[in-house]
Amino acid sequence: MKVQLVKGVASDAAEISQVLEDWAEATSWLPTVGSAIERADYGRWLLEHTQVTILHYNSQFVGFLALEGNIVQSLYIKAAFQRLGFGQAAINYAQGQFNELRLWVFQANTDAQKFYQKLGFEALEKTDGQDNDYGLPDIFYLWELSDS
């Protein structure tokens, strides 16, 4: 698999928003937050407030990674491209930039928990979700570069 990692630009905003919307629609436990207009604008918001990296494979947009410093704000891969190594490639890219990475995962998202644990992330804290937009219980994860 030859994935291309490209800096996100303004013209990627609609596709970023659509990937998020598709994931939300396919995720039965996720409540709808914000209006359709606000959700459609989320890609632009990410591009303006985080470092977005687009994943391409055979000239296709397959997903994106959004970093705010060493915090993984978003990592989403289109459904047709999941479990093929694209998410791992994105995290490996981020791990190459920092000595530690931090992120939050919803407790209901057991697939994401397994994914990050497999890549060396450790769960450090669970919350009741009062501090996230969805009000869903979540887990704080940390990955640190090992000295070995």
- pLDDT of 34 reads 83
The reported pTM is 0.93
pLDDT over 70 percentage in the chain: 99
- H-helix or E-strand containing 103? strand 100-106
Tens-place pLDDT, residues 99-133 = 999 999 999 999 999 999 999 999 999 999 999 98
CATH, domain 4-144, list 3.40.630.30, 1.10.3980.10, 3.40.50.720, 3.40.50.300: 3.40.630.30
- pLDDT of 148 reads 59
Tens-place pLDDT, residues 34-68 = 887 888 899 999 999 999 999 999 999 999 999 99
